[in-house]
A and B are shown apart, each in its own frame.
Chain A
Amino acid sequence: MLFNSLNFAIFLPIVFILYWFTTKGNLKLQNILLLVSSYFFYACWDWRFMFLLIFSTLLDYYTGIKIHEATNQRKKLFWLWVSIGVNLGFLGVFKYYNFFAESFAEGLSLLGFKANLGSLQVILPVGISFYTFHGLSYVLDLFKNRIKPERNFIDYSVFVSFFPLLVAGPIERATHLLPQILKKREFDYSKAVDGLRQILWGLFKKIVIADNCAEYANTIFNNSADYSGSTLVLGALFFTFQIYCDFSGYSDIALGTARLFGIELLRNFAFPYFSRDIAEFWRRWHISLSSWFKDYLYIPLGGSKGGMWMKIRNTFIIFLVSGFWHGANWTFIVWGFLNALYIMPSIVFNTNRTHLDIVAKGKYLPTINEFLAIWLTFSLTVFAWIFFRAANVTHAFSYISEIFSGSLFTIPHFPGIGKAVLVVFLTGIFLIIEWLGREQQYAFKIISNIRLLHFRVILYYAVILSILFFGNFSENQFIYFQF
Chain B
Amino acid sequence: MKKFILKLIIVLAPILFFVVSVNYFGDAANLFSIGYEKKIADEIIKGNNVTNVYNYDERLLEKHLINNSTLCPDVLVIGSSRVMLIHSSDFQKQTFFNVGVSGASIEDLLAIYQMYEQKKCLPKKIILGLDPWTLNINNGQTRWMTLNQEYFILYTQLTNKNIVAKDERVDLKYFQLVSPSYFKGSFKKMILVSSKPIATNTKINNTFTKLVDGSITYDLEYRSASPDEIEKRAIGFISDDIYSIEKFDKLSPEIRFLLEKFIEHLRSNHIEISFFLAPYHPKVYSFIAKSDKYSKVIESENYFRDLGLKYEIEVIGSFNPNRLNMDGSYFYDGMHCNEKGIEKTLINEYK
- How many Å lie between the Cα of A189 and that of B232 in the bound state? 52
Asked if B71 is at the interface (CB within 8 A of a chain A CB), the reply is no
Min Cβ gap B22→A in Å is: 9
Residue in contact with B232 in the complex, picked from A20, A415, A469, CB distance below 8 Å:
A415
- Contacts A415-B236, A416-B236 hold; do A189 and B4 have CB atoms under 8 A apart? yes
- Contacts A196-B8, A468-B180, A473-B181 hold; do A187 and B1 have CB atoms under 8 A apart? yes
Stretch at the interface among A53-61, A437-445, A457-465: A457-465
Inter-chain contacts of A379 with B (CB < 8 A): none
Nearest-CB residue, chain B, relative to A193: B4
- CB of B239 within 8 A of CB of A219, answer yes
- How many Å lie between the Cα of A464 and that of B187 in the bound state? 15
Report the interface size class on chain B.
Answer: 20 to 34
Min Cβ gap A218→B in Å is: 5
Inter-chain contacts of A187 with B (CB < 8 A): 1, 4
- How many Å lie between the Cα of A187 and that of B5 in the bound state? 12
Inter-chain contacts of A189 with B (CB < 8 A): 1, 3-4
Asked if B15 is at the interface (CB within 8 A of a chain A CB), the reply is yes
Asked if A232 is at the interface (CB within 8 A of a chain B CB), the reply is no
Asked if B164 is at the interface (CB within 8 A of a chain A CB), the reply is no
- CB of B235 within 8 A of CB of A226, answer yes
Min Cβ gap A39→B in Å is: 25
Min Cβ gap B146→A in Å is: 21
- How many Å lie between the Cα of A187 and that of B232 in the bound state? 54
- Contacts A469-B187, A473-B181 hold; do A222 and B239 have CB atoms under 8 A apart? yes
Tell me the number of A-to-B contacts counted with CB atoms below 8 Å.
53
Min Cβ gap B25→A in Å is: 16
Inter-chain contacts of A223 with B (CB < 8 A): 235, 238-239
Nearest-CB residue, chain B, relative to A215: B240
Inter-chain contacts of B181 with A (CB < 8 A): 473-474
Contact flags B1-26 to A (C-beta < 8 A → 1, else 0): 10111001001000100010000000
Which residues from 181 to 217 on chain B have a C-beta closer than 8 Å to any C-beta of chain A? Answer: 181, 183-184, 187
Asked if A467 is at the interface (CB within 8 A of a chain B CB), the reply is yes
Asked if A301 is at the interface (CB within 8 A of a chain B CB), the reply is no
Inter-chain contacts of B15 with A (CB < 8 A): 461, 464-465
Inter-chain contacts of A457 with B (CB < 8 A): 11
Inter-chain contacts of B256 with A (CB < 8 A): none
Inter-chain contacts of A469 with B (CB < 8 A): 184, 187
Residue in contact with A467 in the complex, picked from B175, B180, B235, CB distance below 8 Å:
B180
Asked if A452 is at the interface (CB within 8 A of a chain B CB), the reply is no
- CB of B183 within 8 A of CB of A468, answer yes
Asked if A192 is at the interface (CB within 8 A of a chain B CB), the reply is yes
- How many Å lie between the Cα of A457 and that of B233 in the bound state? 42
Which residues from 76 to 90 on chain A have a C-beta closer than 8 Å to any C-beta of chain B? Answer: none
- How many Å lie between the Cα of A189 and that of B235 in the bound state? 51
Asked if A471 is at the interface (CB within 8 A of a chain B CB), the reply is yes
Residue in contact with A6 in the complex, picked from B4, B5, B11, B179, CB distance below 8 Å:
B179
- How many Å lie between the Cα of A219 and that of B235 in the bound state? 8
Residue in contact with A192 in the complex, picked from B4, B179, B235, B238, CB distance below 8 Å:
B4
Asked if B178 is at the interface (CB within 8 A of a chain A CB), the reply is yes
Report the interface size class on chain A.
Answer: 20 to 34
Inter-chain contacts of B11 with A (CB < 8 A): 457, 460
- How many Å lie between the Cα of A189 and that of B8 in the bound state? 11
- How many Å lie between the Cα of A427 and that of B184 in the bound state? 20
Nearest-CB residue, chain B, relative to A474: B181
Nearest-CB residue, chain A, relative to B178: A6
Nearest-CB residue, chain A, relative to B238: A222
Nearest-CB residue, chain B, relative to A186: B1
Inter-chain contacts of B184 with A (CB < 8 A): 468-469, 471, 473
- How many Å lie between the Cα of A471 and that of B185 in the bound state? 12
Min Cβ gap B308→A in Å is: 30
Which residues from 201 to 256 on chain A have a C-beta closer than 8 Å to any C-beta of chain B? Answer: 215, 218-219, 222-223, 226
B4, B233, B235, B238: most-surrounded residue (chain A CB, <10 A): B4
Min Cβ gap B328→A in Å is: 14
Which residues from 243 to 267 on chain B have a C-beta closer than 8 Å to any C-beta of chain A? Answer: none
- Contacts A223-B235, A415-B232, A415-B236 hold; do A20 and B1 have CB atoms under 8 A apart? yes
Contact flags A40-84 to B (C-beta < 8 A → 1, else 0): 000000000000000000000000000000000000000000000
Min Cβ gap A187→B in Å is: 5
B178, B180, B183, B240: most-surrounded residue (chain A CB, <10 A): B180
Nearest-CB residue, chain A, relative to B187: A469
Nearest-CB residue, chain B, relative to A21: B1
Inter-chain contacts of A464 with B (CB < 8 A): 15
Inter-chain contacts of B8 with A (CB < 8 A): 196
Nearest-CB residue, chain A, relative to B181: A473
Min Cβ gap B80→A in Å is: 21
- Contacts A460-B11, A461-B15 hold; do A219 and B180 have CB atoms under 8 A apart? no
- How many Å lie between the Cα of A192 and that of B232 in the bound state? 47
Nearest-CB residue, chain B, relative to A189: B4
Which residues from 3 to 23 on chain A have a C-beta closer than 8 Å to any C-beta of chain B? Answer: 6, 17, 20-21
Residue in contact with B180 in the complex, picked from A218, A222, A460, A473, CB distance below 8 Å:
A473
- CB of B236 within 8 A of CB of A219, answer yes
- CB of A468 within 8 A of CB of B19, answer yes
Inter-chain contacts of A192 with B (CB < 8 A): 4
- CB of B175 within 8 A of CB of A6, answer yes
- Contacts A461-B15, A471-B180 hold; do A218 and B239 have CB atoms under 8 A apart? yes
- How many Å lie between the Cα of A473 and that of B176 in the bound state? 13
B19, B175, B236, B238: most-surrounded residue (chain A CB, <10 A): B236
Contact flags B153-195 to A (C-beta < 8 A → 1, else 0): 0000000000000000000000100111101100100000000
Inter-chain contacts of A460 with B (CB < 8 A): 11
Min Cβ gap A413→B in Å is: 9
Nearest-CB residue, chain A, relative to B7: A193
Inter-chain contacts of A473 with B (CB < 8 A): 179-181, 184
- How many Å lie between the Cα of A235 and that of B11 in the bound state? 38
- CB of B235 within 8 A of CB of A415, answer yes
Nearest-CB residue, chain B, relative to A217: B239
Inter-chain contacts of A17 with B (CB < 8 A): 5
- How many Å lie between the Cα of A6 and that of B23 in the bound state? 15
Min Cβ gap A407→B in Å is: 17
Leading 8 A-B pairs by shortest Cβ distance:
A473-B181, A219-B239, A415-B232, A415-B236, A187-B1, A222-B239, A218-B240, A223-B235
Other 4 A-B pairs with CB < 8 A, given A20-B1, A465-B15, A468-B180: A6-B175, A189-B3, A223-B239, A415-B233
Query: Residues on A close to B: CB < 8 A?
Result: 6, 17, 20-21, 187, 189, 192-193, 196, 215, 218-219, 222-223, 226, 415-416, 457, 460-461, 464-465, 467-469, 471, 473-474
Query: Residues on B close to A: CB < 8 A?
Result: 1, 3-5, 8, 11, 15, 19, 175, 178-181, 183-184, 187, 232-233, 235-236, 238-240
Task: List 7 A-B residue pairs with CB atoms under 8 Å apart, sorted by A's residue number.
Answer: A6-B178, A187-B1, A189-B4, A219-B239, A415-B235, A468-B183, A468-B184
